[in-house]
Amino acid sequence: MVRTPLTPEEHERGERLGRLLREARGVRSMTDVAASAGISAETLRKIETGRAPTPAFFTVAALAGTLGLSMDELIGRCAPEDSDVPDTPDASIAA
């Protein structure tokens, strides 16, 4: 399977995610956070540095839980500045 190249916007979103996770990790070691999330330290390193700009959903969810971040917060803070990310879930999705 050939993977479609990522857009510049996708790369930027991955970099924002990496910065947010790095900030949330604070003084905790990368090894401790990765182990708590059930991923390898190398995977966390790649996400934090933007080398893995599109990590799997469950990887991001595990990291968010470990770092005390909500998925809503991650979405809001990783979306482009000029994006219209709704504050509440779309009612059609919840139905």
Q: Quick one: pLDDT at residue 83?
A: 54
Is the dihedral angle over the CA atoms 5, 7, 8, 11 positive or is it negative?
Answer: negative
- Quick: pLDDT tens for 54-84: 999 999 999 999 999 999 998 888 877 655 5
Phi, psi of 58 (to 5 degrees): -70, -25
pTM reported for the whole predicted model: 0.79
Residue 44 in contact with residue 82, Cβ under 8 Å?
no
Q: Which residue has the higher pLDDT, 16 or 86?
A: 16
Q: Which residue has the higher pLDDT, 63 or 1?
A: 63
